[in-house]
Amino acid sequence: MDVSWSPKPDARRPRSLTAAVYTWVDERLGLEELLALARKKTVPDHQYSFWYYWGGLSLFFFFVQVFSGVLLLVYYRPGAEAYESVREITYDIRFGWLIRSAHSWSANLMVLAVFVHMFSVYFMKAYRKPREFGWWSGMALLALTLLFGFSGYLLPMDDLAYFATKVGLEIPAALPLVGTLMTDIVRGGPEVTETTIQRFFALHVVILPLIYIPILAFHLWLVQKHGNALPPSEEAKPESERRSIPFFPDFFSLDLGMWLIALNVLSILASLYPWQLGPQADPLAPAPVGIHPEWYFMSQFQVLKVFGRWFPGAAGEALGISLFTLAIVVWALIPLYDTRSAGGRRAQIATYFGYFALLGMIVFSIWGYLDLK
Amino acid sequence: MPNAPATSPLAEQASTPTDTTRRTFIALGVGALGACYAGLIGYPVYQYLATPARKAAATGTVTQAVLDGADQLPAGSALMFKFGTAPAMLIHHTDGSWVAFGAVCTHLACTVNYEPEQSRIYCACHGGVYDPKTGANVAGPPPKPLTRYYVEVQDGRVLVSKA
């Protein structure tokens, strides 16, 4: 091809200020390389593609948590004044109720998105080679997300927060040998007090983010490295029958569209159903009737309750916790068990185990809510 | 692409007038929508962050401070108090006269100190010096005199008010 008559303008002669700035930055940071990479990258397009959005949605809610959390930090005072400062945020500071409500709602939506993401990865068998580390880092992120939820729940120090933390910490306290010692250190003494708030605050805003962010970066790097996994039904198809779309701009804009929907849902929930603040925690007041954990701890709570009924005393609790630990270990090790992409007996057992876990969570959660009455 | 076209497809597209209009329309629409979202998020965030400043502005509109018992202030000494939200000083001079100033240095807002033995009001931050009788800036970097208030000594209290 003869380039001499090409109408393409000389790249070194910028046409506008924007182009000039872009060229200046590009020459130094290599933006074109990144864009080329993004254009080359593709995302599989099939009937289960919808589930690919849930990791991104979890990330979106995490960003909302960081943003709204930093805003809450502006007025929140841990320690003895915790309740008063949250009361001020909720009732005195303009739009404080909205920021707090968005933080609480987004926390719940984040946990939901993380669970949907995990189960969709599980059922698409996206944990198989070479994605085992993606599964394990994801499990770590889930555990940290739940710890974020648990530690953040105490910070307003209203009655629900107080009893939820008190009860929640009794569970690891039931562990043999190290239980009491460990719990006393986390709690800062034998009772939930201002000291506990101070510790949970440090955990919630410094320690957990410090652990979470590098694991998140690792997790995202793995997604970039290995790309989206194909579900077994797609993998069975010959390559010529598989469809895919470019990551940029096609999938990227769909992803942004999902983020926009998530933002709208969050705005509606946060503004129409503002998060409530209960009465200040009083260690001498009895626990409010019908007190129960957040929905994402409900199934575990109910399992322990039921085991406590069947096996009275410490035995029930120990048995319940052991069973949980075992289930989590099996869940984490599934990539080492279900390895063959061709399917077969192990793949089937893994799928049934997934149904069992999902169904168990749903049934015990519903049971838990019914049991409150 | 089998063969590179003479003109790039992008340039060709942009050259058709209908396409330019549509492209511009979509770009404008997305931009406007984005601005709406930015505003809807930005406004509450701004109001949230601005709350203490607004509260301070409300307290700052006070025109008078009542200093109970300040009439007993010994001659040759000063009393620091808050006028609205900002520090201020009431000085009882040895000649029996009373003055009150805003105690905020007009240079870079440090709180100034009355030094009776030097007969000056001094700012330790950058060495600004004010006349303790008039509040006039007499040495150092301050560009303006201190804000002066009216003083009314009554039985059992001192009233300080804005000019």
Please tell me if residue A186 touches chain B, with a CB cutoff of 8 Å: no
Same domain, B40 and B117: no
Q: Across all residues in chain A, what is the average pLDDT?
A: 91
A175 lies in the same domain as A306 = no
User: Do residues A38 and A78 share a domain?
Assistant: yes
Are the CB atoms for A295 and A365 separated by under 8 Å?
A: yes
Nearest Cβ partner of B47 from A5, A7, A95? A95
Rounded mean pLDDT of B72-84? Answer: 94
More confident: A173 or A59: A59
Q: Do A99 and B44 touch (CB under 8 A)?
A: yes
* CB-nearest partner of B48 from A7, A71, A267: A71
CB within 8 Å of A315: residues ≥ 6 apart: none
Name the percent of chain A lying above pLDDT 70: 95
- Check whether B2 has a pLDDT greater than 70: no
Is A86 in the same domain as A113?
Answer: yes
Collapsed DSSP state (helix, strand, coil) of residue A218: helix
- From the list A156, A153, A154, A148, the residue with the least C-alpha distance to A85 is A156
User: Which tokens is A144 given?
Assistant: 């940290």
Looking at the fold, whether B47 and B70 belong to one and the same domain comes out as no
Choose the most confident range, by mean pLDDT, from A51-60, A245-254, A282-291: A51-60
Q: Are residues B74 and B108 in the same domain?
A: yes
Residue A86 confidence (pLDDT) above 50 = yes
- Residue ending a domain, among A287, A315, A330, is A287
**CATH code, B143:** 2.102.10.10
For the ranges A29-33, A67-71, A77-81, A247-251, the one whose mean pLDDT is highest: A67-71
The verdict on B149 and B94 lying in the same domain is yes
Is pLDDT of A361 > 70?
yes
Q: What pLDDT is recorded for position A53?
A: 96
Asked whether residue A4 is domain-assigned, the answer is no
Kindly state the percentage of chain B with pLDDT values over 70. 88
What pLDDT, in 10s, does the model give residues A224-248? 999 999 898 888 889 889 999 988 8
Q: Give the pLDDT band (50/70/90) at residue A4.
A: very low
With beta carbons under 8 A apart, name residues in chain A contacting B51: 92-94, 96
Q: Where are the alpha helices (DSSP H) in A174-251?
A: 179-187, 194-202, 208-226, 232-235
Partner residue facing B44 (CB), from A6, A7, A95:
A95
Owning domain of residue A305: 292-373
Distance CA A298, CA A112 (A): 13
- Residue A350 shares a structural domain with residue A206: no
What is the average per-residue pLDDT within B12-34? Answer: 80
Among B37, B45, B50, whose Cβ lies nearest the Cβ of A71?
A: B45
pLDDT band at B59 (very low <50, low <70, confident <90, very high): confident
pLDDT at A13 over 80: no
Are both A166 and A191 inside the same structural domain? Answer: yes
Confidence of residue A12 (pLDDT cuts 50, 70, 90): low
pLDDT at A139 > cutoff 50:
yes
Predicted pLDDT of residue A5: 47
Chain B touched by A19 (CB under 8 Å): no
- Chain B residues within an 8 Å CB radius of A5: 6
Residue A298 to residue A263: CA distance in whole angstroms = 26
Higher pLDDT, A229 or B3: A229
A229 lies in the same domain as A332: no
What is the residue range of B13's domain? 9-60
- If asked whether residues A46 and A28 sit together in one domain, one would say yes
Give me chain B's average pLDDT, please.
89
A272 touches chain B (CB under 8 A): no
